[in-house]
Copies of this chain bind each other. A is one copy, B any other.
Amino acid sequence: MIIVMEKGHTEAQLDSVKGTIERLGYKPHCIYGVERVVVGAVGHEDKTPLQALELMPGVEAVIPILKPWKLVGREIKPEPSIIDVDGVRIGGAEIVVIAGPCSVESQEQILETARAVRASGAKILRGGAFKPRTSPYAFQGLQVTGLKYLDKAREETGLKIITEIVCENDLDLICEYVDMIQIGARNCQNFSLLKKVGQTRIPVLLKRGMATTIKEFLMAAEYIMSQGNYQVVLCERGIRTFEDSTRFTLDLNAVPVLKELTHLPVIVDPSHGTGNWKYVTPMGRAAIAAGADGLIVEVHPNPLEAYSDGPQSLKPAKFDIFMQEMRKIARVMERAL
């Protein structure tokens, strides 16, 4: 921590700050600048937090120096992590595409989608069985029936399956059925859920919250890892901004920033990140070009009658063209797809 003293601070105030730093278990170290005195507090920062020193008279600001994470950081593990989803490896040489409908609606719907996305090259099938909807009156998902439909689709197609968890009490049930679990944007800082999922060993797709900074996003992953589950894939899916011509603003800057800070794989959701099927292909290409390790995309056999997220879903035929486009960019990035 660096404590910046106000311009007109008194000697007594500086002494008091130094005394408090010592009392809290750190060693104070002063730099007398031309316009400011700054005090460095030397010590292990997992002791008492020092932020509250800004309450002391004569203190102008308290500036943290260390990054707050441990396990997610490149410092502790410089080489990239590869997350193994029952044989599908995310974060390695291959670009992995996860595809499927927003909601599981029927056995036919999910089977038809599964066959199509597999034929086009997707490796993991997505489909919501428990749906976090803005309105309590909107379709809330088929729940365990949905899981069974997904299971059947896996059996038939060999695709791995992923579904979103919205309540920690569903964890055991969901883990019985799926290969990977998704934590949605609205639960990105549901710390209770993060800890519970951290106690399993199932691979986790953690979506960035719509107002979650990159630092907070990494701390959310740290929650999961701190409980022992290191199988975490990060997903950028758009943030809330003033721009309203798209549903969210896809923050692709986050891809190289995350790649620099963490060893965890990073994938991108161009469906939620734009909210409009017409923009999914260009933004999917952009995501891979920015360095993403994979994509998650909404595909529905009949978007016009989808129970949810119709406007941003690709039809299977369009998804096939989408995959061809992705493949071209992947090749340039020297990655398989």
Contacts and interface: CB of A to CB of B under 8 A. Distances in A.
* Of listed A29, A31, A251, residue having the most chain B CB within 10 A: A31
Interface string A18-38: 001000000001011111101
Interface residues of A, number: 106
A329 interface: yes
Number of identical protomers: 4
* Of listed A46, A213, A289, residue having the most chain B CB within 10 A: A289
B304 A195 contact: no
A281 to B, nearest CB: 8
A214 B257 contact: no
A283 B253 contact: yes
6 contacts: A20-B304, A49-B310, A51-B311, A136-B195, A252-B252, A329-B332
Nearest to A66: B35
Contacts of A135: 68, 219, 222
A243 B219 contact: no
Interface stretch (A53-61, A93-101, A108-116, A121-129): A53-61
Contacts of A257: 245-246, 279
Interface stretch (A82-90, A151-159, A166-174, A199-207): A166-174
